[in-house]
Amino acid sequence: MKTIGFFNNKGGVGKTSLVYHIAHMMDQLGTRVIAADLDPQANLTSLFLTEDRLDTLFEMSPRPTLYGAVSPQFRGVGDVRLPVIELIGDRIGLLAGDLELSRLEDDLSYAWPKCQDGDERSFRVISAFARAIEMAGAEFSAEVALVDVGPNLGPLNRAALLACDFVVVPLGADLLSLQGLRNMGPTVRGWREAWHDRKAKSPDASIGLPEGGMWPLGYIVMRHSVTAGRPARAYSRWIARVPDEYRKYVLNTPNDGPEDVSSDPNCLAQLKDYRSLMPMAQEVRKPMFLLRPADGAFGGHQAAVKTCYTDFKALTLTIMDRCQADDPASPAPPTM
């Protein structure tokens, strides 16, 4: 199973919606997928589940969420449990998020340096999310796991991204998204190097520690307005800076590649606003590209639905292809 994290230090770039739609497109393409919500805000979970279902989940004990799966490890009363998998159709399995995840930050922060001392419990704590996702993937026979995380550089996200083979960076066409890129690239690179150093000191090879590859698959430019087929001028200036910034801060390579996003091989897609499809999709609880006239998608909206389907299909196929081409087991994985 390939595990893909979606991450930027800048919030509000459409990351959660992206994970939701790619999960549904993988379902359309016949791929079994786990969607793991490791953002304590649980926005991905709220896209998939009704408020009534969420209310039921949060009243249960133990909670059938990712927090419920890993909490025995953090409380010192047992190991990670097999997570409860919420079935979304036949081929999407959701590992529900939980506001309680934020309560694990202190333990994760404390365990990180103790891994340097070979402390077994600390390795089990740091790897809890990775092991829970792996267990769920095996149970669900998933080919891919998509991991949604919050927009910060704290210990919770570090543990979540250590579970990921790959990282996709969603970007808004604005200055703050570029600043998020500058922050996250060196940080993720440091996490990988530090984990590889710690991993060699694990006292128990049977724990099942993640590789912590976090190899960069590329970036996606989100929510740019389009005029006559081109991004509006207000956004163009920021989009134009993305290729160099991504190479410099994420790939840590010289800025000698294409200057234009459209010809940059690191750009996975440029996704448009799709008019007013998102509010309509949220109302009927389905992805934008599956909206029908019965859902209110009439006339020009149907043209936007078709474009949306084509765009997300191309993006999803590109991500799946790159996961195979950039396998961490290959002799020369990409750098970050």
Helix (H) or strand (E) holding 144: strand 144-148
With contact defined as beta carbons under 8 Å apart, do 266 and 219 qualify?
A: yes
Nearest to 112 by CA among 51, 156, 165, 66: 156
Q: Taking 80 as the threshold, does the pLDDT of residue 322 lie above it?
A: yes
Residues in the chain: 336
Name the pTM for this structure. Answer: 0.93
Higher pLDDT, 335 or 46: 46
Q: What span, in angstroms and rounded, lies between the C-alpha atoms of 222 and 285?
A: 21
Ordered by where they begin, the domains of the chain are 2-278 (3.40.50.300)
Concatenate the DSSP letters of all residues of 256-285 into one string. -S-SSGGG-TTEEEE----TTHHHHHHHHT
CA atoms of 221 and 213, how far apart (whole Å): 23
| Residue that the structure tokens 């703050």 belong to | 176
Q: What is the mean pLDDT of residues 124-135?
A: 98
Q: Which helix (H) or strand (E) holds 167?
A: strand 166-172
Which residues lie below 8 Å from residue 122, measured CB to CB, with a gap of 6+? 110, 111, 112, 114, 115
In angstroms, the CA 222 to CA 250 distance is 18
Q: Report how far residue 133's alpha carbon sits from residue 260's, in angstroms, rounded to the nearest whole number.
A: 37
Question: In the chain, what's the furthest Cα-to-Cα distance?
Answer: 64
Question: What is the per-residue pLDDT for 230?
Answer: 62
Q: What's the angle, vertex CA 332, arms to CA 331 and CA 334, rounded to 5?
A: 145
Which pLDDT score is estimated for 335?
46
pLDDT score, position 224: 61
For tokens 């079935």, the residue is 87
Question: Does residue 73 have a pLDDT over 50?
Answer: yes
Task: Please give the pLDDT value at position 226.
Answer: 59
Q: What percent of the chain has pLDDT over 90?
A: 74
Chain center to CA of 334: 18
> Greater confidence, 229 or 326?
229
| Distance, CA of 218 to CA of 320 (rounded, Å) | 12
Mean predicted lDDT score pLDDT of the chain: 90
Of the candidates 32, 46, 15, which has an alpha carbon nearest to the alpha carbon of residue 147? 15
Convert the pLDDT of each residue in 233-288 to its tens digit: 667 888 888 999 999 999 998 777 767 888 999 999 999 877 678 889 989 999 99
CA–CA distance, 225 with 120 (Å, rounded to integer): 50
Yes or no: say if 214 and 164 are a contact pair by the CB < 8 Å rule.
yes
- Scanning the chain, the segments in alpha helix (DSSP H) are 15-28, 43-48, 51-59, 66-75, 105-114, 120-126, 128-140, 155-162, 175-199, 233-239, 242-245, 277-284, 300-325
- Residue 119 CB: number of other CB atoms within 10 A? 16
Confidence of residue 332 (pLDDT cuts 50, 70, 90): very low
